[in-house]
């Protein structure tokens, strides 16, 4: 048995009925150089006989691998269980469809040494090199200024190591000091389907905890591979942001409200006659055309791919804006039963 005091890092992965990407994820962690400085904790969020069978066999041959199971619940509750089950000084959350580069733990040690006062350190999640054409279009949307604004740093290495907030960090590639989950510190809210990390990060920052973004901690995250999955994810993110604004009023960001204002603006266009009212729409379409051109020339996505990027950006804005309003007015929409994602 490993001495708990000697464990630097606990890698926590939440999963449910996604064994194929999970095996790739765990395999990439175990293949890292230098070897994993701690343990892997797998949390199976709901009945899943196939994953449980794999976990039992894997644990028998890997003393640094452990797993726990709970009844199907919110991601926040599953993450809290993972954090409480961890024994490392740091708790590192990654998604089950993430793969990490071989030197990720070496980079982590460098970041820990460079930021000894940090309580939270995270980095970007990039589109894998073997992504499908549609996934590459999604990746372009996530890394574009028009698509995600300053939050594009979540999806590509951007800038230098710096103090951060929830706009820079994302839970598929994020580590916390384990002490933050003890001694009465706030944990992940368990009644959120999305944005549970945004609530926790905002509270920690308000408590004076140092949050750090490092572009060096890049991992690779599988993108949604269809319109339904992508827009459903955007919808839940918008609903979660609206719920968060009710729960933590100080978390309001004007830029996040822009898609909702755009939805209202577009709904009023048929009822307004002055030509000047169409100016904002013309400006938006101009920016959209610029992003499509960049997708065509910089990413070599072709005419079809560039058109897909334009539709994805505009569709994401409308969906997020509508979700945010609905989430603010009806926070119950963001209950743990609101979606099927892990």
pLDDT of 338 above 60: no
Sign of CA dihedral 167, 151, 163, 104: positive
* pLDDT for residue 265: 79
pLDDT of 258 above 70: yes
As a whole number, the mean pLDDT across the chain is 89
* pLDDT for residue 183: 60
pLDDT tens string 116-169: 999 999 999 999 999 999 999 999 999 999 999 889 999 999 999 999 999 999
At 178, is the pLDDT very low, low, confident or very high (cuts 50, 70, 90)?
very high
pLDDT of 186 above 50: yes
Q: Which residues contact 94 (CB under 8 A, 6 or more apart)?
A: 11, 12, 13, 25, 29, 100, 172, 173, 219
* pLDDT for residue 4: 46
Rounded CA-CA distance 14/24 in Å is 14
pLDDT tens string 11-65: 999 999 999 999 999 999 999 988 778 999 999 999 999 999 999 999 999 999 9
pLDDT tens string 70-102: 999 888 899 999 999 999 999 999 999 999 999
* pLDDT for residue 245: 83
Mean pLDDT across 276-290:
86
Kindly list the distances between the CA atom of residue 80 and the CA atoms of 12, 46, 68, 86, 329, in Å, as whole numbers in the listed order: 10, 15, 12, 10, 27
149-179: buried (b, 16+ CB within 10 Å) or exposed (e) per residue?
Answer: eebbbbbbeeeebeebebbbbbbbbbbbbbe
pLDDT of 339 above 50: no
At 332, is the pLDDT very low, low, confident or very high (cuts 50, 70, 90)?
low
- For the chain, the structural domain boundaries read 4-129+152-223, 229-338
* pLDDT for residue 35: 78
Answer for the pair 168, 151: CB distance below 8 angstroms, yes or no: yes
* pLDDT for residue 190: 86
pLDDT tens string 207-238: 999 999 999 999 999 999 999 999 999 999 89
User: Of residues 248 and 9, which shows the higher confidence score?
Assistant: 9
CA angle 139, 261, 272 (to 5 degrees): 125
pLDDT of 336 above 60: no
329: left (phi over 0), alpha (psi -120 to 50) or beta: alpha
User: Of residues 6 and 278, which shows the higher confidence score?
Assistant: 278
* Inter-helix orientation angle 75-85/196-206, to 10°: 60
Percent of the chain at pLDDT > 70 equals: 92
**Options 3.40.30.10, 3.90.1150.10, 3.90.550.10, 3.40.1030.10; which CATH number does 4-129+152-223 get?**
3.90.550.10
């Amino acid at each position: 048995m490993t001495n708990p005091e000697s464990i630097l890092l606990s890698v926590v992965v939440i999963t449910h009925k996604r064994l194929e990407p999970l095996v790739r994820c765990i395999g990439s962690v175990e293949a890292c150089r230098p070897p994993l400085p701690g343990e892997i904790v797998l949390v199976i969020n709901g009945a899943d006989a196939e994953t449980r069978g794999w976990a039992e066999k894997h644990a028998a041959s890997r003393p640094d691998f452990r797993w726990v199971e709970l009844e199907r619940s919110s991601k926040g509750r599953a993450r809290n269980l993972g954090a409480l089950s961890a024994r490392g000084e740091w708790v590192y959350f990654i998604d089950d469809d993430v793969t990490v580069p071989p030197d990720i733990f070496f980079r982590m040690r460098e970041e820990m040494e460079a930021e000894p006062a940090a309580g939270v350190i995270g980095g970007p999640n990039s589109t894998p090199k073997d992504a499908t054409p549609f996934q590459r279009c999604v990746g372009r949307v996530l890394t574009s200024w028009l698509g995600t604004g300053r939050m594009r740093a979540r999806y590509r290495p951007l800038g230098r190591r710096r103090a951060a907030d929830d706009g820079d960090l994302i839970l598929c590639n994020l580590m916390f000091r384990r002490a933050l989950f003890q001694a009465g510190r706030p944990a992940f809210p368990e009644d959120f389907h999305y944005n549970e990390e945004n609530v926790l990060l905002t509270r920690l920052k308000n408590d004076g905890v140092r949050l750090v973004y490092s572009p060096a901690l890049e991992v690779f995250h599988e993108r949604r591979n269809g319109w339904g999955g992508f827009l459903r994810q955007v919808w839940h993110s918008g609903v979660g942001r609206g719920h968060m604004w009710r729960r933590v009023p100080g978390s309001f960001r004007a830029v996040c409200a822009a898609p909702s204002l755009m939805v209202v603006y577009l709904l009023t266009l048929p009822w307004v006659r002055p030509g000047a009212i169409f100016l904002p729409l013309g400006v938006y379409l101009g920016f959209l055309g610029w992003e499509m051109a960049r997708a065509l020339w910089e990413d070599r996505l072709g005419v079809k791919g560039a058109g897909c990027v334009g539709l994805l950006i505009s569709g994401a804005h409308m969906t997020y804006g509508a979700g945010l309003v609905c989430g603010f007015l009806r926070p119950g929409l963001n209950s743990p039963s609101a979606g099927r994602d892990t």
